[in-house]
Amino acid sequence: MRPTSQRYDVLVIGGGNAALCAAISARREGASVLVLEAADAFWRGGNTRHTRNMRCAHDTATEILTGPYTEEEFFEDLLLVTGGRTDEDLARHMIRESKEMLTWIEEQGVRWQPSLGGTLSLGRTNSFFLGGGRAMLNALYATAERLGVEVRYEAEVTDLEIEDGHFLSATLRDGERIRAGTLVAAAGGFESNIAWLKRYWGEAADNFLIRGTSNNKGTILKLLLDRGVQEVGDPTQCHAVAIDARAPKYDGGIITRLDCVVFGIVVNKHAQRFYDEGEDIWPKRYAIWGRLVAAQPDQIAYIIFDASSLELFMPSLYPPIQARTIPELALALGLDPDALARTVADFNAAVRPGTFDDKILDDCRTEGLTPPKSHWARRIETAPFYAYPVRPGITFTYLGTRVDKQARMIMADGTPAANMFAAGEIMAGNVLGQGYAAGIGMTIGAVFGRIAGREAARHARN
């Protein structure tokens, strides 16, 4: 084993949004800070590289936001998507703190831009990063390094020394042991650990695609839980969306997501619909579709739409499959032509006239159809016809470490850890019991990262 290295005030494990916000926050409190990133410099940042925006409460319109988004509205949206499965005190605390993040994150060098076209009703609620997630990360890394934060790449942690809720050291793969006064765990969930996913999903997990980094195997999460940190969250719950089935196994990111469910119908391998495609505004409901597709045979589904909808949404990296008729489209997809033709005909017959408006819950609906389509229902009748094959795209998992309002981990016996804090995906299950609203993962990471870094620094230096 290599000798123990220099001792730091704050050790941050992870390299994405939550980790960098923690590192910067701790350094601004005067602490010496080391960041350990398992990836190399090019792949640094975990899932943050693929993000576009952050959801924060704000009282007025700004140069980049079209109107106010109050704390109460934010909380009501969170209740809606989680079905009430959230720690209300912690969630309200996060939302309250999020009001400062738009300014604070900009002070760290991040720049904003107005919402992109085709982002479906996010212009008022979500702030978009100029240049996307990688540009945001680059700004945070530049600020951290300028402030004197030490960053080490390809520094995979394989063990944590913890005694009675007190962190002592971290061991790297090469055997080096790193001591620190406090620990901030911000190393993501276990979404890229297929074997761990299969404990809860069975063989279906082999068909899951991982939207983000291949590095989030849950190593730090498992070490913490094995050493007495209290777990939070349902291990089967996760942020999972329907993404293009042609996407790579890992790191497909935002460009493989499909925002067109509301503009057509979704069928399984038997050419049968299985859920209401028009249930609610897309930013509140898009993250249910990964789990829905995961429950279908062979974890595959197909979004079917016609020429009238082709330019209403942001497309995937891959072109849609196209045909002149519905039966021809079915053949191209490997579906039963008669079955798909019947499904489309039944849907068309059930559509009732209305005024189509994809920005609101409009009155275009079906009648007498199971499952219904509650909004944005239009007949699929204008050739050519199109389809996207989709599979479950897992962004991050919700099983994590329980924390309090200071982002301090809670031990299994209910007592606060002596010197251990957590931020980001590794503790997101405190807020997200199920479901998802666009941009909230970045909110959790930034808000609790800032808190964890500040509190860790104060503890270490006092």
Query: What amino acid occupies position 411?
Result: M
> 6 falls in which pLDDT band (50, 70, 90)?
confident
* Predicted confidence (pLDDT) per residue in 324-383, tens digit: 999 999 999 999 999 999 999 999 999 999 999 988 999 999 999 999 999 999 999 999
Statement: residue 1 has pLDDT above 50: no
φ/ψ of 350, rounded to 5, equals -90, -10
State the pLDDT at residue 5: 62
Lowest mean pLDDT among 16-30, 47-61, 109-123: 109-123
Using the predicted structure, report yes or no on whether residue 425 has a pLDDT greater than 90: yes
Whether residue 294 has pLDDT greater than 60: yes
Q: Does pLDDT of 459 surpass 70?
A: yes
- Complete domains list, the chain, with CATH: 8-237+398-461 (3.50.50.60), 240-393 (3.90.700.10)
Quick: pLDDT tens for 230-244. Answer: 999 999 999 999 999
pLDDT band at residue 4 under the 50/70/90 scheme: low
Q: What is the DSSP string of 87-105?
A: -HHHHHHHHHHHTTHHHHH
Mean pLDDT in residue range 283-297: 87
Residue 196 has phi, psi (to 5 degrees) of: -70, -40
Confidence category of residue 119, pLDDT binned at 50, 70, 90? very low
Average pLDDT, the chain: 94
DSSP-derived pairing of the beta strands 177-185 and 8-13:
parallel
Say if residue 93's pLDDT is above 50. yes
Q: 160: burial class by Cβ within 10 Å (0-12, 13-18, 19+)?
A: buried
Mean pLDDT on 7-23: 98
Rounded to whole angstroms, how far apart are CA atoms 21 and 143?
Answer: 10
